[in-house]
Amino acid sequence: MKLYSYYRSSAAYRVRIALNLKQIEHSIEPINLLKKEHKSADYLTKQPQGLVPCLETSNGLCLAQSGAILRYLDSRYSKVKLMPADPLQAAKIQSFVDIIACDIHPICNLRVLNYLTEHLEVAGQQKLAWYHHWVTLGLTALETMLDESSYCFGEDVTLADLYLIPQLYNALRFEVDMTAFPKLLNVYLCCNQLEAFINAKPENQSDAI
């Protein structure tokens, strides 16, 4: 199994954590977004949107979209289940995940931020204000959904943690004020003590600059 990844991609980061947690044998093929490798003709045959991640299975099938990849890995590899069997608990976790996957990430990712500056003549400071506004709004909702557990939903890692940690990594990188989010930060510290999360960190990737 091969994961096409970029070290700073939070969507790829989610999948790297899952592959590590489930101890799935895999290789990582770096795709350099700054060099536009994700727009090469070859890569577009694998991921038609020209985005990372993309997972190539051992029989050569390419899967796009981190959510679909994670769902596939969780149903195919039962070691460390990412979603509980209980429908209500699973729905609560999915709500948390969707705030990141649907409401924060799509409007704060690289191509959206680049569009603001390159096509709408938005200044760098305003672009940063955009990022801070939408991330802070999302994190404010997420903070209310947690209790004092080590991980987002109890004492076992779930899909929620795989979405939260990359999102927080990004928020810290862009210096979002985190003082209102002690529960999120506690989960961040707990997860980052686990080998699967440490090995998936951007700075621990072979393509990290």
Ligand X SMILES: N[C@@H](CCC(=O)N[C@@H](CS)C(=O)NCC(=O)O)C(=O)O
Q: Which residues bind ligand X (CB under 6 A)?
A: 9-11, 33, 38, 51-53, 65-67, 109-111
Annotate 73-96 with b (16+ C-beta within 10 A) or e (fewer): bbeebeeebbbbeeeeebebbeeb
For ligand X, which residue has the nearest CB? 111
Nearer to ligand X, 20 or 66 (CB): 66
Cβ at position 111, least distance to ligand X in Å: 3
Cβ at position 148, least distance to ligand X in Å: 29
Nearest to 83, CA basis, from 166, 153, 150: 153
Report the distance separating Cα 38 and Cα 53, nearest Å. 10
Nearer to ligand X, 90 or 110 (CB): 110
Cβ at position 86, least distance to ligand X in Å: 25
Nearer to ligand X, 5 or 158 (CB): 5
Nearest to 6, CA basis, from 182, 170, 177, 175: 170
Nearest to 52, CA basis, from 34, 73, 74: 34
Cβ-count burial of 6 within 10 angstroms (0-12 exposed, 13-18 middle, 19+ buried)? Answer: buried
Paired strand residues for 2: 27, 56
Cβ at position 84, least distance to ligand X in Å: 22
What are phi and psi for residue 183, nearest 5 degrees?
A: -70, -40
Backbone dihedral region of 27: left (phi > 0), alpha (psi from -120 to 50 degrees) or beta?
Answer: beta
Cβ at position 61, least distance to ligand X in Å: 16
Contact 1, 62 (CB under 8 A): no
Cβ at position 155, least distance to ligand X in Å: 27
Nearer to ligand X, 111 or 180 (CB): 111
Nearer to ligand X, 97 or 190 (CB): 97
Nearer to ligand X, 6 or 181 (CB): 6
